[in-house]
Structure 1
């Protein structure tokens, strides 16, 4: 039997293995080392199936990054010429508004990313295969359903992490020089807190994998997208309501009265004020509106003396806690994502066909 080997010919058919023309021996030089790494097997199949969504996400990410880099360059040119931070931006008036206004639309877009990814990437990821019957082909293939599911989730998760991670890092880099300026963005607001650090990644992952789980249960793409929209909006609302609880509030008090100059507590720059109350001599707190109905300062002071008010009590969150609050909140979201993924594998062992 002949042992002649053949190799594919670009034009079709096969050609013999190349040999050295001088002695007939096989040429040791091959093109193997020059080949680029390429996807294969299940990874290639999943990427090809969802390549339109994946490439669209990466392309929009690249364009958004380019825009933010440009905007930061413009802002830094102004700040350097103005003399910030030696000079307060309060004195800049409308001149800085041209640059600060650019934050709002970009931040709004970044806050919408978890919702958009959940609805248009997460919900159809498996629901489409279940609805049109493609998932049934997995059961008759040599590769298991578990591997198919793991590959789908891994590639989608990788695209999400890369995209949101880059967007978060670049937006934080843009905002960081003026992060202490509440006129630009309050650091406890969704505009800044949900668009920097690990929070965008965590919110998007739980939205996407939550959408996948909804699609697996409902098995209808359009219905899954609608329900996922409601789910992701609910996640955003609950998260926004919980931001303040992620930090440890600091309380500062005074005992120099509440009327007059320099009697209100001095808070650190960028601090977020949660609440303020009057402090009584016994240490109790009363609302700051106490005695507000008094017609004159003398009458109000008499009212305050009667209530034994001696100073202010202010509760606030320092900006130094922002990073810790973000990681603490993100860890909760990552844990929730892990629970959803565990459910998907548990459900997929028997019902993902």
Structure 2
């Protein structure tokens, strides 16, 4: 999106000896509309990029510390279940960082997206820009393009750094559950798509309301609603796998073996005819013998368990991100259609 000036080399003649000297080479820099937009929002952009750089550096350091501990402990040959409280500081670090990264879409939506155009519309800057030679579409495209670039670069860097840090212990539910928002929503393409949609949504709210403070308040509610809806539908992005057993339900090895870190969705009794009974059936019996008779009478032969394997995580993330990117594209289209007549 950025326009760069080309480098040029000018030759000048030395009056004394007739030799030529090359002028200093000019470095590429932003110009025109790109320079104007960057200068207008440079404080926010540089703050985001600087905070991202510091956060990435801290996570890289934390990963180095964790790997030193794990190597000394003997992981993965030795299970972390036996490590005791010595690993708890790293678990706490994952929890704190994931919580902080999880609120980034809300923060950027409120403090970057909502005021992006609402401030210009409120103080009259938009009318001044519209009176210049540059078109409204170009102004809007540059605003959205530079903002999107900063958002994508920062969230992608944070996502990659956190994923790299978490990857050695990714299969340990005691560290982070892969299906929870604290892991699923801040790794892979999801944080990029989620933040971009929230920020662009905040921009659209600001364009419609045309008041900065009101737009920020409404965007906060919008961002929270997006998080809630996303969390509700997150697991529906995967394909539930069902595994059954026929060794009864009370034997020691009767329950089906699930893959490591699999998320169990539901479990039921399986009858000889293939029907399913809720796991609470025969629960009210007074003794184990009475329960055995109840299960036998119901012709229960084993378990039926529904789960999501961790191997689906990457596919689920890309499916969810593609939906969010499509919604973002829809909001951007709305902004350009609205901007043709009502932007200023």
Mark yes or no: TM-score above 0.5. Answer: yes
SS in structure 2 opposite 1:101? helix
Q: Report the counterpart of residue 14 of structure 1 in structure 2.
A: none
Mapped to 1, the partners of 2:18 and 2:298 lie a distance apart of 108
Matches within 5 A, 1:62-73: 62-73=53-64
Does structure 2 retain, via aligned residues, the 8 Å contact 1:74–1:99?
Answer: no
Larger Rg: 1
State the match for 2:246 in structure 1: 255
Alignment equivalent of 1:40, drawn from 17, 31, 39: 31
2:127 matched residue in structure 1: 136
Deviation at 1:28, TM superposition (A): 5.1
Secondary structure, aligned partner of 2:286: coil
Give SS of 2:295's match. helix
Contact 2:12 2:21 in 1 (8 A): no
1:241-278 per-position Cα deviation (integer Å, ceiling 9, x unaligned): 11111011100001111002100000011111111111
3-state SS in 2 of match to 1:312: strand
Match of 1:9 in 2: none
Task: Say whether 1:22 aligns with 2:16.
Answer: yes
Residue in structure 2 matched with residue 127 of structure 1 by the alignment:
118
Q: Please give the alpha-carbon distance, in whole angstroms, between the structure 2 residues aligned to 1:295 and 1:86.
A: 44
Which whole-Å CA distance do the structure 1 matches of 2:55 and 2:23 have between them?
42
Matched, 1:193 2:184: yes
The CA distance in 2 between the partners of 1:260 and 1:296, in whole Å, is 16
Distance in 2 of aligned mates of 1:173 and 1:61? 15
**312, 324, 330: which one aligns with 2:303:** 312
Structure 2 residue corresponding to 1:289, chosen from 276, 280, 284 = 280
Check whether the contact 2:12–2:23 (CA below 8 A) recurs between aligned residues.
Answer: no
* Offset of residue 70 of structure 1: 1.2
**Which secondary structure state, in structure 1, belongs to the residue aligned with residue 340 of structure 2?**
helix
CA deviation string 1:40-72 (max 9, x = no partner): 000000000000100000111011111111111
Residue equivalent to 1:4: none
The residue that corresponds to 1:6 in the other structure is none
1:181 to 172, 187, 193: 172
User: d(CA) in 2 for partners of 1:23 and 1:70?
Assistant: 58
DSSP 3-state at the match of 1:269: coil
CA-based RMSD: 1.1
Question: Following the alignment from structure 2 to structure 1, what is the Cα–Cα distance between the partners of residues 288 and 49?
Answer: 63
1:1-353 equivalent positions in 2, closer than 5 A: 19-22=13-16, 27=20, 29-31=22-24, 34-353=25-344
Which stretches in structure 1 are left out of the alignment for 5+ residues? 1-16
SS in 2 for 1:266: coil
- 3-state SS of 1:316 partner: strand
Q: TM-score, normalised by structure 1?
A: 0.93
Q: What is the CA distance between 1:239 and its match in structure 2?
A: 0.5
* 1:20 shift after superposition: 1.5
TM-score (norm 2): 0.95
Query: 1:18: how far off?
Result: 5.0
Please say if residues 123 and 225 of structure 1, whose CA atoms lie closer than 8 Å, have aligned partners that are also in contact. Answer: yes
Contact 1:179 1:187 in 2 (8 A): yes
Q: What SS does the aligned partner of 2:246 have? A: coil
Task: Give, in whole Å, the separation in 2 of the partners of 1:202 and 1:132.
Answer: 31
Count of matched residue pairs: 334
